[in-house]
């Protein structure tokens, strides 16, 4: 079914109402972060991962998290390090199972989602340190860097870029690729406009509160906090996906332009009338299915001509 089908129009309309009624009330400035986390856990229990997905608690590189595998993909061709979103203050591997489960199946990958430390209890650079430790843990299992991709959504998308930058500066080999869903890459918020009418969950006051909690006194222009301002040269091929009805659309467009200017193979896919991290609605929303299928194609190694 395409976006214009009657069924898909109804599905999109219902999802939009549900998300606005639940997540917009969860991601609310002034609401104690503990309550935000609890509400997010409750809301995301309503999103079902694919039946073929399995989730196993594990620790990789001293970082707790979980492995996600999909039946029928017992010998995956790729390992995906997935960094969840949530403004650096909320979220966990459990809240993102609908997304990581579909990624495992559609990308022929096994996925490790680290439960990285959150602000405000653990501000920058705790999340970057944990992501780098998880990467090194995967490498310590004998995995070649060319067989590992890093992905993330929202704050996790920005964290994915920051992690790649940190690995580059440490002299580590680069991952196979980066996949970024609606990445948040500018915590200065200097060029962020008010949310468009179609935004269903994010507000500027909440994003500002998260940025303050994560930076915690560090200049938000720090390149590992706001990687939009970093030297992006040497990063691996990058796929950015974003909806046009969301607050962070400008971040995605600016990051794509900056990556291209730095000589990085960057691809930007915009989905009209779709909301923040709509890919989490895979299995229900046709555009989400198409988006993850595009991720699978992007991550598959290009056949070598003979």
Clarify whether 276 is annotated catalytic: yes
Q: Using an 8 Å Cβ cutoff, are 3 and 286 in contact?
A: yes
Q: Which two tokens stand for residue 159?
A: 């964290």
Q: How far apart are CA 184 and CA 247, in angstroms?
A: 10
Catalytic residue among 154, 226, 252, 266: 154
Q: Which two tokens stand for residue 302?
A: 């290009």
Pairing of strands 148-153, 178-181: parallel
Q: How far apart are CA 119 and CA 297, in angstroms?
A: 34
How far apart, in Å, are the Cα atoms of 97 and each of 41, 67, 101, 116, 160?
A: 11, 10, 6, 15, 18
How far apart, in Å, are the Cα atoms of 276 and each of 63, 103, 143, 199?
A: 27, 17, 32, 7
Q: Using an 8 Å Cβ cutoff, are 158 and 183 in contact?
A: yes
Clarify whether 190 is annotated catalytic: no
Q: Count CB atoms within 10 A of the CB of residue 8.
A: 16
Q: For residue 92, give every residue at least 6 positions away whose Cβ sits within 8 Å of its Cβ, in sequence order, or none.
A: 41, 84, 86, 115
Clarify whether 246 is annotated catalytic: yes
Report, in angstroms and rounded to the nearest whole number, the Rg of the chain calculated over CA atoms. Answer: 18
Catalytic residue among 226, 246, 252, 256: 246
Catalytic center residues: 154, 246, 276
């Amino acid at each position: 079914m395409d976006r214009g089908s009657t069924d898909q129009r109804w599905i999109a309309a219902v999802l939009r109402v549900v998300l606005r009624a639940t997540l917009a009330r969860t991601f609310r400035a002034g609401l104690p972060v503990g309550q935000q986390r609890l509400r997010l856990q409750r809301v995301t229990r309503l999103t079902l991962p694919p039946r073929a997905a399995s989730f196993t608690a594990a620790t990789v590189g001293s970082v707790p998290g979980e492995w996600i595998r999909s039946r029928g993909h017992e010998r995956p061709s790729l390992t995906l390090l997935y960094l969840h979103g949530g403004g650096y203050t909320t979220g966990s591997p459990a809240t993102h199972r609908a997304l990581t489960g579909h990624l495992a199946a559609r990308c022929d990958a096994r996925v490790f989602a680290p439960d990285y430390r959150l602000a405000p209890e653990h501000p920058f650079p705790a999340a970057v340190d944990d992501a780098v430790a998880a990467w090194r843990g995967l490498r310590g299992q004998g995995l070649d860097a060319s067989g590992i991709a890093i992905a993330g959504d929202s704050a996790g998308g920005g964290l994915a870029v920051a992690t790649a930058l940190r690995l580059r500066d440490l002299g580590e080999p680069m991952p196979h690729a980066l996949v970024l869903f609606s990445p948040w890459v500018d915590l200065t918020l200097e060029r962020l406009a008010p949310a468009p009418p179609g935004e269903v969950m994010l507000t500027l006051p909440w994003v500002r509160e998260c940025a303050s909690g994560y930076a915690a006194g560090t200049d938000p222009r720090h390149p590992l906090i706001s990687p939009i301002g970093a030297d992006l040269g040497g990063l691996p091929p990058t796929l950015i996906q974003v909806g046009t009805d969301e607050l962070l659309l400008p971040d995605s467009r600016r990051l794509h332009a900056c990556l291209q200017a730095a000589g990085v193979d960057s691809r930007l896919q915009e989905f009209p009338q779709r909301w923040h991290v709509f890919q989490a609605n895979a299995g229900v929303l046709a555009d989400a299915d198409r988006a993850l299928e595009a991720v699978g194609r992007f991550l598959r190694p290009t056949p070598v001509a003979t």
